[in-house]
Every structure is written in structure tokens, then in C-alpha cells.
């Protein structure tokens, strides 16, 4: 608590109630954390200047305390208000630039000896606990950027992210992402629509699009042929109806092989019955 005793002694004449002592304590915590008091009230004045001391009129209103602070290393301004409600003191600390507000409720009897207001050594009770509450609940974090510093950090983060993306795109050994980039998808022509219809008939076994599935269909090659219809059947080979009308049919033997005339095998060669021939 170095420095608090000097401050308390300087303002001892204005301390007439326990809430004055608590406000003095919270003021010193702000000073220790890099802020300086620039005046009292809500509005700026021409006489404002940075100081570690409390302004002369800081305790005129025992029901509502209002003090303004400014950070040492930036233009950040803070407005501290303390409202007395029965035996408690409610603090509100607002950042004038961002309008962010933090608050702290202090039970006065837990931290101040009412009958020892003018004896610094015994006026505060459990000062370490009160100091910890002010730091964790009321004061903004020391590493939290504000104002222009926050904007600069945001821009720097965006630039670093852009550089990282460019590095990934230019790395020849990088495995591409499973998620494709957003954009227009390539147009793939329908293989069943001319002029990209090559092989399309192979996907149409029943010939509903015209033509068989083979590149050179023996039954639809374009050359003159007899009126052979496989759906009517092939004598001694394929019964009628075995091939649906219009379906592709690949003959498994010469069509009409049972031609009239002598059987080429009707005269066996000499010694045919000799198994050792």
C-alpha cells in the first residue's frame, strides 16, 4: 500500500464518513494502475489537469461521488461514480470512448473501521481483499487495448491472416483443403445430348434413344440387311419374346445357320471310329 498513507493524510480533513475512506482507497488503486485524476463531476473543465491527488471538492456530495480519470499512456478517459445505498457503496467505472461499464459493490462495514477514520494504521480492514476486488471487478484489464490501439491491432491481425492465406496458396507441397473454394462451378455437358452423345447408347440397353449400345452394332450398322427381328425369336435357338422389342441384341452365333442343304458333317472321314486316329 505504498503511497496510500501519504494520500490519505493529505485528504484527511475531507474524510468525515466511512464512504469517504472507501472512495479514497479506490482512487489510489486507479492511480497505481496507470490513471491520473483530472477533476470531479461529469463534464470537463478548463482547470482539468492530471494529478495523483483528489480534487478539492471530491467529497462535497456524500451520496454521489463523481470523478474523472485519464490514462497516462493514451487518451482513454474514465468516469468513476460511487453511489451510497444504506451501508454499501456501489461503484461504476465507464470508458468514455467505448461506453463500456464495470461495477463493484463494497460493504462499507467489512472494510472500514468507522471509529478510526483519522488513524490510517487502523482505518482499513482486510485491505488486501478490497484491493483484489477493485482490480478484478472494477478496473479494465491492463492488456485490453482501447481506442486507436484496438483498431491497429485489428488491422494487424487481418494483415497477418491474409499473409498466411497467401503462403498456403503458394506452397506446392500443401495438401488442398477438403472444402472447395467458393465460386462458379464448371459446366459439364450432358453426355446424352449431341454432340457429346458418344457412348450414350451404352447407357440405354433397350435402345429407347435409338441405336444400340455398341459402337458398331451388327444389327444397326447402317448396311442393308434382311428384316430380321430378334423379338420374333430364332428357330431352335431363341424362343419368341425372349428379346424385348427394340432392345439391343448381340447374336451368339450366325443367324440362320440351319440353312437348307446337306450337313457338312454328314460324311465322316475314313477311320472316324478309330479312337486312336
Judge contact between 232 and 226, C-beta under 8 A.
Answer: no
Q: How confident is the model at residue 74 (pLDDT cuts 50, 70, 90)?
A: confident
What are the grid coordinates assigned to 37, written together? 485524476
Under 8 Å between Cβ of 234 and 255: yes
Q: Which of 219, 216, 223 is nearest to 231 (CA)?
A: 219
Report the pLDDT value the prediction gives residue 177, as an integer from 0 to 100.
60
Confidence at residue 192, expressed as pLDDT on a 0 to 100 scale:
53
Given strand 101-107, what is the order of strands in its sheet? 35-40, 64-71, 77-85, 88-95, 101-107
Q: Domain 4-138 is in which class?
A: alpha beta
DSSP SS3 for 90: strand
Residue matched to cell numbers 483530472: 38
How far apart CA 272 and CA 277 sit, in angstroms, is 7
Domain locations in the chain? Answer: 4-138
- Is the pLDDT assigned to residue 202 strictly greater than 90? no
pLDDT in tens, 158-180: 888 887 777 766 666 666 565 55
pLDDT at 88: 95
Q: What's the pLDDT score for residue 102? A: 94
Provide the sign of the torsion angle of the four alpha carbons 233, 238, 241, 244, taken in this order.
negative
C-alpha cell read off for 117? 477514520
Beta-strand pair 101-107/88-95? antiparallel
Q: Please return the burial class of 146, using the count of CB atoms within 10 Å of its CB with bins 0-12, 13-18 and 19+.
A: middle
Amino acid at each position: 500500500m505504498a503511497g496510500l498513507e501519504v494520500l490519505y493524510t493529505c485528504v484527511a480533513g475531507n474524510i468525515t464518513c466511512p464512504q469517504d475512506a472507501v472512495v479514497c482507497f479506490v482512487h489510489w488503486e486507479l492511480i497505481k494502475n496507470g490513471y491520473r485524476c483530472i477533476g470531479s463531476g461529469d463534464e470537463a473543465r478548463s482547470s482539468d489537469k492530471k494529478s495523483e491527488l483528489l480534487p478539492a471538492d471530491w467529497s462535497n456530495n456524500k451520496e454521489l461521488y463523481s470523478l474523472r480519470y485519464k490514462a497516462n499512456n493514451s487518451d482513454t478517459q474514465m468516469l468513476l461514480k460511487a453511489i451510497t445505498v444504506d451501508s454499501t457503496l456501489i461503484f461504476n467505472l465507464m470508458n468514455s470512448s467505448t461506453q463500456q461499464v464495470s461495477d463493484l459493490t463494497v460493504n462499507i462495514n467489512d472494510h472500514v473501521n468507522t471509529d478510526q477514520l483519522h488513524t490510517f494504521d487502523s482505518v482499513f480492514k482486510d485491505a488486501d481483499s478490497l484491493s483484489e476486488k477493485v482490480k478484478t471487478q472494477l478496473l479494465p484489464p491492463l492488456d485490453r487495448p482501447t481506442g486507436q490501439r484496438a483498431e491497429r491491432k485489428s488491422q494487424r491481425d487481418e494483415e497477418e491472416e491474409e499473409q498466411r492465406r497467401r503462403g498456403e496458396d503458394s506452397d506446392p507441397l500443401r495438401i488442398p483443403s477438403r472444402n472447395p473454394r467458393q465460386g462458379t462451378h464448371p459446366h459439364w455437358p450432358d453426355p446424352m445430348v449431341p454432340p457429346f452423345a458418344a457412348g450414350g447408347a451404352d447407357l440405354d440397353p433397350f435402345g429407347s434413344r435409338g441405336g444400340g449400345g455398341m459402337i458398331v452394332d451388327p444389327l444397326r450398322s447402317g448396311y442393308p440387311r434382311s428384316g430380321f427381328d430378334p423379338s420374333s425369336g430364332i428357330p431352335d435357338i431363341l424362343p419368341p419374346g425372349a428379346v424385348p422389342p427394340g432392345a439391343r441384341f448381340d447374336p451368339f452365333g450366325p443367324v440362320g445357320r440351319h440353312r437348307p442343304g446337306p450337313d457338312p458333317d454328314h460324311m465322316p472321314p475314313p477311320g472316324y471310329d478309330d479312337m486312336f486316329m
